[in-house]
């Protein structure tokens, strides 16, 4: 339910008209009444909309109080968008500030973001999810250069982890514009991350399973949107909510990233336990790897969280690993050789880990597994993850 709080009846009607939702709307004309409604119905309220005729200071104090007590999104509607109002509102914990004449797309996006944030918070407040030992790990596979082998590493790593741990493993395609995980696994997803993001405020772990496409290996894919343009509509907050749900389903979820720092990827990196940076043996790729390492450091990610993987490390292109390490300022953790089996496996839609498990490429990617699921066998005993069928 969305709770609209606005004293002026005609403005209130205009606000209700703006809400593009099938979700029920409840209207009240004062903060007192809103408080009373929330005390009864906080659990079924996804978002508050604070109307423009409310006293600003009172509305913001109310937003702050609600923020401490209930996990609901809060939008403030102002007469005009001034930076002072925005700052005050954000400080009070308001998710976004809009004007009454904001475009429908802006309303949609602000609402989705506010509800996504609230849903994540609800997840954190739920005691069973908060237990750290029971949460699965999130591992991002990333680079700021295209075509260096992220998707090859991500798919094979997911397959190897599923096989060795005898558990299901999550795989999410965050290359929202041109994701190719489904093709690499020869899957035909009926639903994608876009569909999951559309209902993010109502999702729980069980509902999340409906958006996944299973692969025979025990890997469960959350596919990229079928239409590239849909990717832009998925907010970073909804990605984080989805990732937290996947974390509660799988002991390990692998994220295959786009070749640049998108908002959504930054959100995923923030909550990842490990980041696998992939580079290949050519000067532009190494330069972009170096920049990526620096940017990640600036964003506060520690070196311990990073694994540096050099793909096609045996390429005879006049560069040696030692020189590359010196230039990067970090050691390379894993070196993957070049092999024509890789493009062959992609064209077949059967990852090498399944078709040629003895390939040196698979051997190298497999070196990453023990770091990601340290007690693979013990985890096999754990009951609360989505068990292998
Ligand atoms: N070790 C390897 N040996 C030979 N070819 C490889 C190797 N790794 C990757 N390739 C080839 O490089 C191409 C790009 O690989 P991949 O799709 O995994 O890169 P990516 O980083 O995910 O690219 P994008 O940024 O476009 O998503 C593929 O065609 C693949 O066949
Ligand atoms: Mg890719």
- Rounded-to-integer distance, Cα 179 and Cα 141, Å: 13
- Rounded-to-integer distance, Cα 274 and Cα 251, Å: 14
Q: Residue whose CA is closest, atom 25 of ligand 1?
A: 146
The set of residues, in sequence order, having a beta carbon less than 8 Å from that of 50 and lying 6+ positions away, is 5, 59, 62, 63, 74, 75, 76, 77, 94
365 and 260 inside one domain: yes
Distance from residue 21's CA to the centre of ligand 1 (Å): 42
For the domain that residue 157 is a member of, what is the CATH number? 3.40.50.300
Its domain, for residue 41, covers 2-125
Kindly give the pairing relationship between strand 213-214 and strand 219-222.
antiparallel
Residue pair 238/271 in contact (Cβ under 8 Å)? The answer is no
The set of residues, in sequence order, having a beta carbon less than 8 Å from that of 287 and lying 6+ positions away, is none
Q: Does residue 387 fall inside a structural domain? A: no
Q: Does residue 285 fall inside a structural domain? A: yes
95 and 234 inside one domain: no
Q: Residue whose CA is closest, atom 1 of ligand 1?
A: 338
Phi, psi of 194, rounded to the nearest 5 degrees:
-65, -45
Ligand closest to 173 (CA) is 2
For the domain that residue 25 is a member of, what is the CATH number? 3.40.50.2300
Give the pLDDT of the chain (389 residues) as one tens digit per residue.
899 999 999 999 999 998 866 778 999 999 999 999 998 888 788 899 999 999 999 999 999 999 888 889 999 999 998 888 888 998 899 999 999 999 888 888 888 888 877 877 776 654 444 344 468 999 999 999 999 999 999 999 999 999 999 999 999 999 999 999 999 999 999 999 999 999 998 899 989 999 999 999 999 999 999 998 999 999 999 999 999 999 999 999 999 999 999 999 999 999 999 999 999 988 888 899 999 999 999 889 999 999 999 999 887 777 788 888 988 889 999 999 999 999 999 999 999 999 999 999 999 999 999 988 865 545 444 445 665 54
Q: Does residue 15 fall inside a structural domain? A: yes
Give, as one character, the DSSP assignment of residue 334: E
Of the residues 125, 152, 173, the one at which a domain ends: 125
Per-residue buried b or exposed e for 316-334, using 16+ beta carbons within 10 Å of the residue's own CB: eeebeeeebeeebebebeb
165 and 238 inside one domain: yes
Atom of ligand 1 lying closest to residue 148 CA: 21
Q: Does residue 256 fall inside a structural domain? A: yes
* Confidence (pLDDT) at 118: 80
CA angle 173, 305, 242 (to 5 degrees): 35
Distance from residue 151's CA to the centre of ligand 1 (Å): 7
CA angle 113, 268, 233 (to 5 degrees): 40
Ligand closest to 147 (CA) is 1
144 and 277 inside one domain: yes
* Confidence (pLDDT) at 269: 95
Q: What three-state secondary structure class fits 46?
A: coil
Of the residues 63, 95, 125, the one at which a domain ends: 125
Six-digit token string for 53: 């005729």
Total count of domains within the chain:
2
* Confidence (pLDDT) at 91: 87
Residue written as token pair 């009373």: 36
To test the pocket of ligand 1, the residue of 143, 145, 151, 174 to mutate (highest count of ligand atoms within 8 Å of its CB) is 151
Pocket of ligand 1 (CB under 6 A): 143, 146-152, 175, 259, 311-312, 336, 338-339, 342-343, 346, 361
Ligand closest to 143 (CA) is 1
Atom of ligand 1 lying closest to residue 312 CA: 1
DSSP letters for 187-232: ---SS-HHHHHHTGGG--HHHHHTT-EE-TTSEEEEPPPSSGGGGG
Distance from residue 184's CA to the centre of ligand 2 (Å): 10
Q: Does residue 385 fall inside a structural domain? A: no
The set of residues, in sequence order, having a beta carbon less than 8 Å from that of 192 and lying 6+ positions away, is 211, 222, 223, 224, 225, 226, 230
* Confidence (pLDDT) at 381: 45
Q: Does residue 147 fall inside a structural domain? A: yes
Six-digit token string for 254: 């692998």
Distance from residue 274's CA to the centre of ligand 1 (Å): 21
Ligand closest to 361 (CA) is 1
Of the residues 78, 106, 125, the one at which a domain ends: 125
């Amino acid at each position: 339910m969305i709770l609209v709080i606005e004293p002026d009846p005609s403005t209130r009607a205009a606000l209700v008209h703006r809400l593009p939702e099938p979700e029920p709307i409840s209207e009240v004309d004062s903060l007192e009444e809103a408080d009373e409604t929330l005390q009864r119905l906080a659990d079924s309220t996804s978002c508050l909309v604070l109307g423009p005729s409310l006293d600003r200071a009172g509305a913001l104090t109310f937003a702050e109080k609600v923020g401490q007590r209930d996990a609901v999104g809060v939008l403030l509607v102002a007469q005009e968008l001034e930076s002072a109002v925005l700052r005050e509102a954000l400080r009070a914990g308001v998710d976004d500030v809009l004007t009454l004449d904001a475009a429908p797309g802006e309303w949609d996006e602000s609402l989705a973001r506010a509800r996504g944030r609230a849903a994540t918070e609800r997840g954190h407040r739920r005691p069973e999810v908060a237990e750290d030992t029971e949460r699965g790990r999130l591992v991002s596979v990333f680079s700021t250069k295209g075509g260096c082998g992220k998707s090859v590493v991500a798919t094979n790593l997911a397959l190897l982890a599923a096989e060795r741990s005898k558990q299901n493993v999550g795989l999410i395609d965050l290359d929202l514009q041109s994701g190719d995980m489904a093709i690499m696994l020869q899957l035909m997803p009926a639903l994608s991350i876009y569909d999951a993001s559309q209902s993010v405020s109502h999702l729980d772990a069980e509902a999340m399973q409906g958006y996944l496409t299973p692969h025979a290996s025990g890997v469960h894919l959350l596919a990229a949107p079928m239409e590239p343009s849909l990717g832009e509509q998925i907010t970073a907050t909804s990605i984080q909510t989805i990732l937290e749900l996947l974390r509660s389903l799988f002991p390990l979820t692998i994220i295959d990233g786009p070749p640049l720092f998108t908002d959504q990827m930054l959100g995923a990196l923030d909550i990842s336990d490990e980041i696998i940076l992939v580079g290949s043996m050519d000067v532009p790729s190494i330069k972009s790897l170096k920049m990526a390492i620096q940017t990640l450091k600036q964003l506060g990610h520690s070196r311990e969280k990073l694994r540096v993987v050099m793909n096609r490390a045996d390429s005879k292109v006049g560069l040696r690993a030692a020189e590359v390490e010196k230039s990067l300022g970090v050691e390379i953790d894993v070196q993957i050789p070049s092999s024509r089996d890789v493009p062959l496996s992609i064209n077949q839609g059967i990852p090498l880990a399944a078709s040629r498990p003895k390939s040196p490429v698979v051997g190298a990617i497999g070196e990453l597994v023990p770091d990601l699921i340290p007690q693979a066998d013990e985890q096999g005993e754990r009951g609360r993850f989505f068990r292998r069928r």
